[in-house]
Structure 1
């Protein structure tokens, strides 16, 4: 989870000012706040997450302690490809997360039938991603979903209405799954080039190449 820090400051002579940081990983923000508090001049201080919820120092410490051994700091990349001639779709997702002080990458793809368009394949790939999060036992956490589909990203974020019945069914299914897991979803539209890993997985699924696995990454 990323948060921004907001605090008011008062100098020894009584001059007051208000400050706001850029978004930072919660653990980094907490370290900065602990340093600010040593000055004794921060008169009010709080953390604001991406959903504009406010956290105290005590609340954020408890949150970080609680998720230490669970998957967190999760970013999902998803992509779907559709072969119209063969009536088949390839779905791919890549999930980056941290757990117990280590960083991991999960990759998964699958071939799907009975889909009718590339947009439906993109929705199916997003749904597959949510199922993988459920298998990871992700609950009550913010998750960033990144894809290169204008349709899926804008419809799931509420920017565009969903008129097509088949897409509406996928959107409702995904929303129900996210609600059940307590996941706070943030959708980000990214260029196709930035989604190359998920795109490659979807293409491999269409060629009959199955990919499934998790590996530990070096933390930067």
Structure 2
């Protein structure tokens, strides 16, 4: 989770002003906030997450302790492909997460013969990612969902109206799953090139190649 620190600085003569930091990982923010406390010049300190929720230092400590052994810092890439000639679809998702002090990447794809369009395949790929998050026991956390479908990203984020019956059905299923898991979604639209890994998984599913893989990622110490 990324947060900003907001604190009220008070001088010895009790003049006050408010500062707000740039976004940073929650663990880093907690270290800085604890250091600010030691100065004795911070009248109050709070953390603001990407959903504009406010956390106290005590709440942040508890949150970081609770997620140490569970998946967190989760980013999901998803993509769906549709072959008009065969009326078949391929779905792909890539999930990056931290757990137990290590970083992981999970890749999953799946074919489908029941979808009717590329947009529906994109929605189905997003739903596939939620199924995988549930299997990872992800719950009550913010999650970033990244895709190259303007339709899905803009409709799920509420920027565009959702009028198509088939797509609204998928959107409802996704919203219900998000609610059940307590996941707070943040949707980001990227160019197709930036979504190449999920796109490749969807293409492999179309070609009958099944992928299910989870690997530990190497730590960059540079």
**By how many angstroms is 1:15 displaced?**
3.3
2:10 corresponds to? 10
Matches within 5 A, 1:42-191: 42-191=42-191
**Distance across 1 between alignment mates of 2:25 and 2:178:** 23
Moved over 6 A (4+): none
Gaps of 5+ in 1: none
Give the stretch that moved more between structures: 95-104 or 10-19. Answer: 10-19
**Distance across 2 between alignment mates of 1:139 and 1:14:** 43
**By how many angstroms is 1:191 displaced?**
1.1
Q: Aligned residue pairs: how many?
A: 220
**By how many angstroms is 1:51 displaced?**
1.3
**By how many angstroms is 1:11 displaced?**
2.2
TM-score for the superposition, normalised by structure 2: 0.97
**Distance across 2 between alignment mates of 1:59 and 1:137:** 22
Gaps of 5+ in 2: none
**By how many angstroms is 1:204 displaced?**
0.8
1:216 corresponds to? 216
**Distance across 2 between alignment mates of 1:24 and 1:18:** 18
**By how many angstroms is 1:2 displaced?**
1.1
**Distance across 1 between alignment mates of 2:10 and 2:114:** 64
Quote the RMSD (CA, aligned, Å). Answer: 0.9
